[in-house]
Chains A and B, each alone.
Chain A
Amino acid sequence: MNNKIKPTNIFIVLKTACVILASAFMFSCVSHPDVPENYTQEDKLPEIFPDYTDVVVPPNIAPLNFLVKNTEEVVARFTYGNTSLTYGEKNKVMIDEKEWKELLSEAKGNSIKVEVFARNNNEWKAYKSFNISIAEENIDQYISYRLIYPSYVAYEMLSINQRDLTSFEEKDIYNNEMVQSPKDNQCINCHSYQNYKTDNMQFHIRQNLGGTMIVHNGKIQKVDLASDSTISAGVYPSWHPTLPLIAYSTNFTRQAFHTRNKGKIEVIDTKSDLILYDIEKQQTTTISGYSDEMESFPCWSPKGDMLYYCSAHFENNNDSVPIEAAVFTRYKEIQYDIYRKPFNQKNHSFGDAELVYEASADNLSATFPRISPDGKYLLFAMAHDGCFHVWHPDADLYMMDINTKNVRKLENVNSDKAESFHAWSSNGRWIIFVSRRDDGNYSRLYIAYIDKQGKAHKAFELPQRDPNFYTYFMRSYNVPEFMTEPVKITPHEFAAAIKNEAIKTTYQTSGRSRGAQGRVKSVKQELQADSQKVTTPIQ
């Protein structure tokens, strides 16, 4: 028997491969199913997932693929002007990316009509048509977010990812699986950027190999922001829009678990302050460190002349009870108000705090202030109490007009589940936020259009190639941030830098440091002295 491989056999193999590739190509071509000729008209909107009915979307968004629940077959017709496209694969509507882009560019500033026909038991039904409005303004091409199991304990499967919003491409910025061992694990969190650019960005590593990864002018540094004078290393960050400065909160955070509430996890700060990190000097100073205030969530104004933040007043009246125990017992009393401090960009000094919104006066707690790029609006999350609103089902997004101090709930944006972790696009026309509205447990990303009058339009879920993706995906999205460019540092470069020893930063004592004399008097006491309290009604 001749065991040699004959050249003709190789040709047969190659020929077969060509046939398979050609078949694959044929199958990959777009199919446009026919709209059924006979159907009964339904006077209701189709039950589609994700819900894209009557939403406003950016003209550069990826296709809004969706599925129609409880149907066997579906055909959807997208019409704008003379262009009409049909799609449908079983119960899914999978739109061709190229055709979608062309359609959006034609319909920019107008609406696309969507008609949905669904078949069940050989009977076709036509649902009430809906519109998808195409805004004039683009959305930033990239977003980044952290993917995490909603358990908050195991760290191995954590990653910070970036997504191109104009397509379905998602990449890891950094994946924790790259630096892990059975013995030591680490949490990664709080990625943020300076002015939507990625040459200046940062995120934290907690526990094993802990430190803050700061990318400054495209170069990575790992720094240790902790000092004896601060509560912790930096936590919630905010990049100054122009200077090499990052404002951080420093928090002593604990998590606990509800025995019964649907917001299953409670993350509580028992202490927190604000610090400022000067990247070039590698030096931290205290911005605010009051003993009976828990300051957190710093956010620079777009001009960099004001630092917004939240603070909760908490006094431990019983000296025999440790502060941590007192906070845990009285956690429902902890409510955050929004303040701001003027910042002198020349000498890097802060002025006195000014109360911007006293949520506690309305028996509420406001967190995560975010100023729109035009400086007109302040977007924040608010719930009854606490600081970790992503687990509070009553948490909603609110917006304040900075000039009029008028606060309103974003009705079109909110749901009966938690909304939080919001961010503005660079042009201020889009917001992205996290919501648990899909199922109450897994946070997903939603995008909403904010028009020139500041009106928020119905939010839509971040589109995915497979509309069933969210059903089978068991990780939560959190802390979405817009970027105008992708992160250029590779995950491998981050992994290598994470293994480095962190550079120890120095601490510069300031007038409001937590020195031996303890923390300075309450900000509320100062404000009461000023009698400059501003109260604003919620609309």
Chain B
Amino acid sequence: MIKKIHHLPLIIFIIIAAIILAVMNNDFLYTIQDCSIFCNGHTFMKSLTNAPGGTINWIGCYLTQFFYYPWLGTSFLILLWIFIYILCIKTYKLKYHDCPYALIPITALMCSIIGVGYWIYYMNMPGYWFACTLGCLYLSLSLYGYSKINESRLNILTILYLITTTIIGYYLCGWWGLLNAICCILLDIRAKSRIKRIILSCTTCIVLLISVPIIAYHLSTHMPIEKAWTIGFPLFQQNDYTNWKLSTPFFIIMVWFIIVSFYKTNTTLSSNEKNTRLFLSCFVATLFLITPFRFNYNDSRFKSEIRMYRLLEECKWEEIISEYQANSKSPTNQMIMCKNLALLHLNRLGEEGFNTGMVGDSPTKQGDLKVGMAQTIAPLLYYHHGCINYANNWALNNIAKYGLSVRNLKILIRCAVMNNEPELALKYTAILRTTTFHKQWASQWLEYSFNAHSAKECQEINTITPLIVLDDMIDDDQGMCEAFLLEYFATLIASTREQQEMALIYAMTLKDDELIKFQIENYYAMFGDTNIPKHVLEAVDIYNTNHSTDYLKFVQDYQKAIGTGNKIVEIGKQLKPIYGETYWWYYYFVNKFNTY
């Protein structure tokens, strides 16, 4: 009976993996493919395969694109994991009571995906999401082959196999190839091969471990010598900071393969011993199956941000507001910027901009990773603010630093179309058209580029065009997208409704009295004095000599609270239930503008 259910842990694993990936991380998986790309062509292939380990990156990119349908990508991943699981059992001849141990490497592989969080914007590891699984698969296959050849008495064949799989493995998979050499030797020792053969294998292995990376370094011009031994090993680094937690799954895989390659289980166990072993292995496997839930980056604001990015791309304004309001935690600045754009296009910014919240937080800390909007959303935000060149620059910067991605390529296409650069649009769309799932989008935008009539009917273009400021100036945002946009619009002499509304609300956000007065004048000059939105009237109230009774009441309450001697923060909290939805509250109590 126990024997019959020895694959039960695997079945449980499959269910858990499907739930965690395709259900809990559905939006994240879509974002993964959006931040990656696979272009069908020689140039793209060459760009990835010119360094050792690049081949699995290239195949990884190919498979990553299937996260366009998260369940499809998940299915591929799970299939590969099952294959690795089976190969491990066969290679190490694990008995049913030890089988659950084979879940450890594949669980680690799952953790390596779901724990990434904000690092998705800061990792330059093309195809990472499948590459590690492919590396592990190569290792498992190679070791399976070695375990079979090992049974022969042909020393030369095993040595040839060791040399070939290490060199090919290093070329295709980077460090996995070197791990393969170590595990092969351990398999030799485990198989209790003759001492002469072990010495021969060990010598070959040491020579391979030293020489292969050195030779590869001298044949390649794409890696530093220090990285030659760890090429392809995922390290999550930003400036001085390395997030070792995210690399832990790979250390676990490495240690697991080393231990099981070396450790030979006793085949003659009593029934009781077998049951104890089964219990123990199930316990360990259960611990590992629980791990993904702990490892999963489940920050609700991060998830909201990635959903809002997608909604912003599709100009779904009402849904952006709904997503914003559905979030129970205090919003990030990025979410506020998206919400404001949505309100602007719904013509509600002046009415609801401040009462829906204008004070944002930094993203939840993920170790010491410094998250900046420049990498997370700046290209799209700039684009939606009509700052086409800045959107273009940040999309290009992010591509240069973190690799080509669908989302940044789409920004470049949009910018080329909005800037009336058809040849450039043609170039970028030609690249995007080599992808599997974004061809249609590319063709549509190519049409916009060459056909002014169809461009005029594009809702997105019509939305952004009024925000484009025709006058040129030179400036530099220093990577501070939000601060730049606020100041850029606050100082603007607007020529359209959208620009003027944005200009006034952003001036009010900055609380610069001169700019607010300037923009109020411009606002009234453009719109007259009818149907003035709530927040604008509130701002006018502050500077007018004839104050409204509501404002006078607020001032009265404010002065009364001041008289109590409480700190301004306390007073703010005290008055928030009554005045929290007014601009006055923002003007008097929000003193710190944090951006990132």
8 contacts between A and B (CB under 8 A): A4-B153, A149-B397, A156-B400, A177-B224, A182-B237, A255-B476, A264-B392, A468-B41
| A260 contact from B124, B222, B423, B472, Cβ within 8 A | B472
**CB proximity to A under 8 Å, residues B382-400:** 387-390, 392-393, 396-397, 399-400
**CB proximity to B under 8 Å, residues A253-294:** 255-262, 264-266
| Whole-angstrom distance between the Cβ of A270 and the nearest chain B Cβ | 13
CB of B268 closer than 8 Å to a CB of A: no
Q: Is the CB of A438 within 8 A of B423?
A: yes
Q: A3-B151, A260-B470 are in contact. Are A149 and B421 (CB under 8 A)?
A: no
Can you list, as one digit per residue, whether each of B159-172 has a CB less than 8 Å from chain A (1) or not (0)?
Answer: 00000000000000
Q: Is the CB of A258 within 8 A of B42?
A: no
Q: Is the CB of A492 within 8 A of B218?
A: yes
Q: Is the CB of A257 within 8 A of B401?
A: no
CB of A466 closer than 8 Å to a CB of B: yes
**CB proximity to A under 8 Å, residues B167-214:** none
With a cutoff of 8 Å between Cβ atoms, the chain A residues found around residue B399 in the complex are 149, 151, 474
With a cutoff of 8 Å between Cβ atoms, the chain B residues found around residue A150 in the complex are 396
CB of A36 closer than 8 Å to a CB of B: no
A183 CA to B237 CA in the complex, in Å? 8
A255 CA to B416 CA in the complex, in Å? 22
| B401 contact from A154, A261, A262, A466, Cβ within 8 A | A154
Q: Is the CB of B400 within 8 A of A259?
A: no
CB of A178 closer than 8 Å to a CB of B: yes
Instruction: Give the 3 A-B residue pairs with the shortest CB-CB distance, closest first.
Output: A154-B400, A149-B400, A182-B237
| B473 contact from A183, A255, A259, A440, Cβ within 8 A | A259
The A interface is mostly helix, strand or loop, or mixed, namely: loop
> Could you list which residues of chain B lie within 8 angstroms of chain A, going by C-beta atoms?
39, 41-44, 51, 124, 148-149, 151-154, 157, 217-218, 221-225, 237-240, 242, 387-390, 392-393, 396-397, 399-401, 404, 416, 419, 421, 423-424, 426-427, 430-431, 434, 468-477, 488
A154 CA to B149 CA in the complex, in Å? 48
Q: Is the CB of B400 within 8 A of A151?
A: yes
With a cutoff of 8 Å between Cβ atoms, the chain B residues found around residue A265 in the complex are 393
CB of A350 closer than 8 Å to a CB of B: no
| Whole-angstrom distance between the Cβ of B502 and the nearest chain A Cβ | 15
CB of A11 closer than 8 Å to a CB of B: no
Q: Is the CB of B389 within 8 A of A151?
A: no
Q: Is the CB of B238 within 8 A of A473?
A: no
| Whole-angstrom distance between the Cβ of A391 and the nearest chain B Cβ | 11
| A4 contact from B39, B124, B151, B404, Cβ within 8 A | B151
With a cutoff of 8 Å between Cβ atoms, the chain A residues found around residue B431 in the complex are 471-472, 474
A257 CA to B149 CA in the complex, in Å? 62
Q: A259-B389, A328-B474, A492-B217 are in contact. Are A439 and B222 (CB under 8 A)?
A: no
Q: Is the CB of B152 within 8 A of A256?
A: no
Q: Is the CB of B151 within 8 A of A257?
A: no
CB of A179 closer than 8 Å to a CB of B: yes
* B387 nearest in chain A by CB position: A259
With a cutoff of 8 Å between Cβ atoms, the chain A residues found around residue B238 in the complex are 182
| Whole-angstrom distance between the Cβ of A334 and the nearest chain B Cβ | 12
A473 CA to B39 CA in the complex, in Å? 12
Indicate the member of A154, A175, A259, A472 with the most B CB atoms within 10 Å. Answer: A259
With a cutoff of 8 Å between Cβ atoms, the chain B residues found around residue A473 in the complex are 43
Q: Is the CB of B474 within 8 A of A258?
A: yes
A495 CA to B228 CA in the complex, in Å? 14
* A161 nearest in chain B by CB position: B221
Q: Is the CB of A175 within 8 A of B222?
A: yes
CB of A360 closer than 8 Å to a CB of B: no
A259 CA to B431 CA in the complex, in Å? 26
With a cutoff of 8 Å between Cβ atoms, the chain A residues found around residue B51 in the complex are 177
A262 CA to B472 CA in the complex, in Å? 10
Can you list, as one digit per residue, whether each of A159-178 has a CB less than 8 Å from chain B (1) or not (0)?
Answer: 10000000000001011011
A295 CA to B577 CA in the complex, in Å? 64
Indicate the member of A174, A266, A472 with the most B CB atoms within 10 Å. Answer: A472
| Whole-angstrom distance between the Cβ of B151 and the nearest chain A Cβ | 5
Indicate the member of B423, B434, B471, B477 with the most A CB atoms within 10 Å. Answer: B423
* A159 nearest in chain B by CB position: B221
Q: Is the CB of B474 within 8 A of A439?
A: no
> Could you list which residues of chain A lie within 8 angstroms of chain B, going by C-beta atoms?
3-5, 149-151, 153-154, 156-157, 159, 172, 174-175, 177-183, 255-262, 264-266, 328, 331, 438-442, 466, 468-469, 471-474, 491-492, 495
Q: Is the CB of A440 within 8 A of B42?
A: no
* B474 nearest in chain A by CB position: A256
With a cutoff of 8 Å between Cβ atoms, the chain A residues found around residue B416 in the complex are 441
| Whole-angstrom distance between the Cβ of A91 and the nearest chain B Cβ | 13
Q: Is the CB of B389 within 8 A of A440?
A: no
| B224 contact from A178, A257, A440, A472, Cβ within 8 A | A178
A-B contacts counted at CB < 8 A amount to 138
* A494 nearest in chain B by CB position: B221
With a cutoff of 8 Å between Cβ atoms, the chain A residues found around residue B222 in the complex are 175, 177-178
A91 CA to B225 CA in the complex, in Å? 43
Q: Is the CB of B475 within 8 A of A439?
A: no
Q: Is the CB of A261 within 8 A of B427?
A: no
* B395 nearest in chain A by CB position: A151
A181 CA to B227 CA in the complex, in Å? 10
A351 CA to B464 CA in the complex, in Å? 58
Q: Is the CB of B239 within 8 A of A261?
A: no
* B235 nearest in chain A by CB position: A182
* A182 nearest in chain B by CB position: B237
Q: Is the CB of A5 within 8 A of B152?
A: yes
* B237 nearest in chain A by CB position: A182
Q: Is the CB of A440 within 8 A of B424?
A: yes
Q: Is the CB of B390 within 8 A of A257?
A: yes
Q: Is the CB of A157 within 8 A of B400?
A: yes
A503 CA to B336 CA in the complex, in Å? 52
Q: Is the CB of B44 within 8 A of A472?
A: yes
* A268 nearest in chain B by CB position: B474
* A153 nearest in chain B by CB position: B397
| B472 contact from A181, A259, A438, Cβ within 8 A | A259
With a cutoff of 8 Å between Cβ atoms, the chain B residues found around residue A151 in the complex are 393, 396-397, 399-400
A292 CA to B44 CA in the complex, in Å? 49
Q: Is the CB of B400 within 8 A of A153?
A: yes
With a cutoff of 8 Å between Cβ atoms, the chain A residues found around residue B424 in the complex are 439-441
Q: Is the CB of B472 within 8 A of A261?
A: yes
* B238 nearest in chain A by CB position: A182
With a cutoff of 8 Å between Cβ atoms, the chain A residues found around residue B400 in the complex are 149, 151, 153-154, 156-157
| B404 contact from A174, A468, A474, A491, Cβ within 8 A | A474
| B149 contact from A5, A153, A172, A466, Cβ within 8 A | A5
With a cutoff of 8 Å between Cβ atoms, the chain A residues found around residue B401 in the complex are 153-154, 156
With a cutoff of 8 Å between Cβ atoms, the chain B residues found around residue A438 in the complex are 423, 427
A221 CA to B484 CA in the complex, in Å? 43
A339 CA to B39 CA in the complex, in Å? 49
A266 CA to B488 CA in the complex, in Å? 18
With a cutoff of 8 Å between Cβ atoms, the chain B residues found around residue A331 in the complex are 474
Q: Is the CB of A495 within 8 A of B224?
A: yes
| B221 contact from A156, A177, A261, Cβ within 8 A | A177
A127 CA to B233 CA in the complex, in Å? 54
| A259 contact from B152, B239, B240, B469, Cβ within 8 A | B469
A330 CA to B432 CA in the complex, in Å? 40
A336 CA to B393 CA in the complex, in Å? 27
Indicate the member of B222, B472, B474 with the most A CB atoms within 10 Å. Answer: B474
Q: Is the CB of B472 within 8 A of A471?
A: no
| B421 contact from A154, A180, A256, A262, Cβ within 8 A | A262
* A151 nearest in chain B by CB position: B396
With a cutoff of 8 Å between Cβ atoms, the chain B residues found around residue A153 in the complex are 393, 397, 400-401
Q: A177-B222, A183-B240 are in contact. Are A472 and B472 (CB under 8 A)?
A: no
With a cutoff of 8 Å between Cβ atoms, the chain A residues found around residue B423 in the complex are 438-440
With a cutoff of 8 Å between Cβ atoms, the chain A residues found around residue B389 in the complex are 257-261, 264
